Structure 1
Amino acid sequence: MKQLMLYGLVCGLLLGCAGNRARTLDPAVQAAQEKAAAEKAVLEKKIETNMAIDPNFIPFQKLSPKLDDIGKGQLLRLLPRLKASKAIVVRGYCYRGDIGNAKAASQARAVEVKDFMTKAGIPENHITVRFDTGRKLHGVQLHYK
């Protein structure tokens, strides 16, 4: 009889705790979680769009040498293929008609992608960095074998 009462007491406590959790969810926390989920969905859609256009071209903002979250996501999806490659050419693009020091910007973009790949486990001696300032592109093109 004691075991049955103890079992009932434990079940009642567990049900009470579970019910309190559902009711105590702060609306601000719930709104923040929904906003984060929506932002993640938008980011995933942008990555998918870039992958559909050209999976090996990582676009950059015109005036930025920094890799954004979209580019990072694109590179993360390419990592299995890149890790299996024996040679990778990372060509940074920055059009000299748009930027004063296009050479430095295109090199910085290529190095940014190279650094990301080496941190992800790709041997540095498999990666060659190049740059181009003659085309009206702002990004990094990957060629791998």
Structure 2
Amino acid sequence: MRVVLQRSKEANVKVENKVVGSISKGFLLLVGITHEDNTDDAAVLAEKIVNLRVFEDEHGKMNHSLLDVKGEILSVSQFTLYGDCRKGRRPNFMNAAKPEQALAIYEVFNTLLKEKGVQVQTGQFGAMMDVSLVNDGPVTLILESK
């Protein structure tokens, strides 16, 4: 499982020009799932993400977690994170999980985040989406479960 985490001041996702998810301070997560992933991978990353200390304290040091600052999450499924561009000019998506498997793990991941006390908004799985972000910092990290 691969997540691109972007610390945000605000973010939203639209499907067919309609906002389906929107947050203020928190994380925009682009979530990719490979065929080797399972719910254990979702649990590892959910725990890591809510406790990752990337928000500044009163001294400007990254010492506070999403839970500490009562931040929100906008979680967007992103199968293209497993695109392989090493050969040719068109990405190969063979490493991305099939939609049925990916959806099941993605839903578990979002549920686990909510169970940790975080407000979670999502995009629409499998849809063409327009994602907007005001990246805070900018802070962008890549997390992997393996």
Q: TM-score, normalising length from structure 2?
A: 0.36
More helix per residue = 1
Q: TM-score, normalising length from structure 1?
A: 0.36
Higher relative contact order (CA 8 A, sep 6+): 2
Larger Rg: 1
More strand per residue = 2
